[in-house]
Chains A and B, each alone.
Chain A
Amino acid sequence: MSPNQFSRFEIIKREDFSDVTYLLECYHPLMAKAARAGQFVIVMLNEHGERIPLTIADYDREKGTITLVIQAVGKTTREMQQACQAGTSLYAITGPMGIPSHFDKVKKVACVGGGLGVAPIFPHARAFKESGAYVIGIVGFRNKNLIFWEDKFRSFCDEFIICTDDGSAGIKGLITEGIKQAIEKHPDIDEFVAIGPPVMMKGCAEATRPHNIKTIVSLNPLMVDGTGMCGGCRVKLGDQVKFACVDGPDFDGHKVDFDDLMIRLKRFAEEEKVAMERWSEGCRMRDQVQV
């Protein structure tokens, strides 16, 4: 009963960027029409699956598709890596969720993406470019082999900075290195937008705080419904509590309590481990049977 009149949640394209990062392009014309930069969907692989939030990394209104770029980090994202091929369908895609990002009239903006945030920052870069801003893209990868979408970024960024942990491409070092250089070169940057793991967003917020540059971060707490009903996604901003799924996911990076976010992301560390081990065990057994 899961598919609806708008979509059967088919995957029409799959692309692998590395052994942990893959792209799924899904056919959902209405979603493609409604999606705005900064929004996300909740996906279920199958009936037994978890509801996992994934950012809409791109959308194509003519083709009627949305693009998800996923890092395989745990049971669900790995299982999807195996199961989701072009021609297969997901059990559910719901969205677009969250408040679309604002694109204030800014002259100069830096879009920062690290880890699983590289793809989601792309629609921001594009939207800022389309609104006439000077866009500096800053992305971080572990090494050269993991780099993807470089051309895509370059076509919407006036400047594009890549950082790699091992220096195999671009600047050697963490993404904060790239941020520092960008601020030195362009003291007139009006705004930063950062998406990535919480440590990275925290680093970015700390780097811009002394310069008093507005910094928007897109938070990724654990979620269940994504409709504001459970409070599982709550985040702390100063003494306020907000629900990332309906009040966000964009927030003022200088107010966010990242330590709280990082602790809350570990809520189910035990269970995630059990699920992962059980699943890997299942895969091994299946492989043995097939051999």
Chain B
Amino acid sequence: MAKKKTIRTIPQQRTPMREQDPRERVTNFTEVACGYRVEEALIEAERCLMCPEQPCVAGCPVGIDIPGFIQKLTEKDYRGAYDVMTDTNLLPAICGRVCPQETQCEGVCTVGDTLEPVAIGRLERWVGDKAISEGWVNIPYIEPSSFRVGIVGSGPAGMACAADMAKAGCDVTVFEAFHQPGGVLRYGIPDFRLPNEVIDAEIDNLRKLGVKFECNTLVGRLFTIEQMINEMGYDAVFVGTGAGYPSMLGIPGDSLNGVLSANELLTRCNLMRAKEFPNYDTPLPHGHRVAVIGAGNTAMDAMRVSLRLGAEKVYCIYRRSRTECPARAEEVHHAEEEGVEFHWLTNPIAVIDDGKGGVRGMRCVRMELGEPDDSGRRRPVPVAGSEHDFECDLVVFAIGTNANPIIGQTSKLKLNKRGYIAVDENLATSVAGVFAGGDIVTGAATVIEAMGAGRKAARNMKSWLGIRDIDFPYAAEGRDSTNKLFGIDLRERNFARVRVAATAKP
């Protein structure tokens, strides 16, 4: 190995990523961040100190071997970097773009103590994009088992679970209610942040693993989870239906025609391609002055979509301060660059109607931060006498979601008090053989957490089915053990399946 790097010998500046100019990009839906060139990726990779204690790995919800893949990058072994990456993360091109790295791996990176942290997310994206452009895919030798696994929902949680179960030899089918797979990645996150081609490429990889996607299938109503187990011959089921059901504002005027959820705006725009109306049939509400309520990723997307649809002014209305804003830092930064006007510490109290069923403006009140609440963030309280009105003709709310009721309505799965699916620490639900994970268990969270949940559920599903693989029962044996254990050749990254009931005990 080369001589040890220190904080003083590495490139001091974080390598910037080229972006479309803000003035230019608000007129199009092309991706904002252009990604690193190979030279840039190599320079940035040099900034990693290869810390022995690897805080970044612990900071990653799925524990990607970050120094491992960066090491391969510095050696220009790009395929090797991809292999290390896909050991833990199946969707690097997606996660590199949408993960909140600043609160995960990059937030704890050692370099970040002194300089700007290593741009782990950008490197991850570069590796993912490289794999897509080269057509790489890691398909291990898969020996079919006799198990059939049904996955409900094709979001990141469902995809991750599907991939792992397919690698374990199961016959995996993903059922999706929409006419296209991908979940929020498809209908929620806009093209300028995550192009459809990237989602398609990652889904194609799953298909290559043998995963089948069945769209236009509303599980619960077309057939129930119980029917999947009892009648349709699925040995195990994973439920990853996401958090739908947007919360309403609950203020006067919130049912006016110019008021809609960010989910509706984004679904119309992204999935239904209403931005290309009338070439596509689905219409979109257009506003000249758009007020978006909330400051999470969903709100940022709604604001930036509104700008691209031609709004003259877009306001962000958020009752807490910028410090508490839950969106990815990069998204807030991009929204600011693009001209979104932020009104921190401002809470809507009414939508004002124009007398014709539409919106004329908003009435808001200023807030100040009081004592910390349950979430540990300081609770905003209204400032007396600070009511004020401003003009707008479209109000988009992105203030969170509640649990989607369909699975609860149609199955015996136990729900928790808030209506989300109740699971134990193995992500097993109250029905034997049925596991659940992602937003439908935790409430709205992140792509990587949903993926992590899908993988965790897959691990437990395998042990429930009696499938053993190197990740799980033998994890303690270590990666480079070369001996064959019970017929498993660890070097092959192969899986042995032992169907407990069918196999005679030794």
Q: Residues on A close to B: CB < 8 A? A: 1-2, 4-6, 9, 30-31, 34, 39, 44, 48-51, 75-76, 91-97, 99, 224-232, 234, 236, 241, 243, 246-247, 260, 263-264, 266-268, 271-272, 274-275, 278
Contacts and interface: CB of A to CB of B under 8 A. Distances in A.
Contacts of B218: 94-97, 226-227
A274 B278 contact: yes
A31 to B, nearest CB: 6
9 contacts: A5-B212, A5-B214, A48-B280, A50-B282, A96-B222, A224-B272, A225-B178, A231-B246, A246-B245
Contacts of B221: 34, 39, 95-97
A92 B281 contact: no
A224 B264 contact: yes
Interface of B: 173, 177-180, 187, 212-218, 221-223, 242, 244-246, 248, 254-255, 257, 260-261, 263-264, 267-268, 272-273, 277-285, 357, 404-406, 409
Contacts of A225: 177-178, 187, 244, 267
Contacts of A247: 405
- Secondary structure at the B interface, as helix, strand, loop or mixed, is loop
Contacts of A232: 260-261, 264
A102 B48 CA distance: 63
A231 B260 contact: yes
A246 B257 CA distance: 21
B186 to A, nearest CB: 12
A233 to B, nearest CB: 9
A267 B285 contact: yes
A228 B179 contact: no
Contact of B281 (A75, A224, A264): A75
Given A2-B215, A230-B246, A232-B261, 17 more contacts: A6-B217, A9-B216, A48-B273, A48-B281, A49-B280, A97-B218, A225-B187, A225-B244, A227-B404, A229-B245, A229-B246, A229-B263, A229-B404, A243-B245, A246-B406, A271-B283, A274-B278
Most buried by B among A31, A225, A275: A225
Contacts of A76: 281
A246 B255 contact: no
Contacts of A274: 278
Q: Give 8 closest A-B pairs by Cβ, nearest first.
A: A271-B283, A229-B244, A230-B264, A263-B357, A50-B281, A4-B214, A231-B261, A268-B283
Nearest to B244: A229
Given A97-B218, A224-B264, A267-B285, A44 B409 contact: no
B257 to A, nearest CB: 5
B179 A6 contact: no
Contact of A92 (B173, B215, B245, B260): B215
Contacts of B283: 268, 271-272, 275
A133 B244 CA distance: 39
A250 B436 CA distance: 30
A274 B278 CA distance: 8
Given A4-B216, A95-B221, A272-B283, A231 B264 contact: yes
Contacts of B268: 224
A278 B278 contact: yes
Contact of B267 (A30, A97, A224, A275): A224
A4 B178 contact: no
Contact of A1 (B215, B261, B272): B215
B222 A30 contact: yes
A110 B254 CA distance: 35
Nearest to A9: B216
B177 A94 contact: yes
A95 B179 CA distance: 12
Nearest to A52: B281
A234 to B, nearest CB: 7
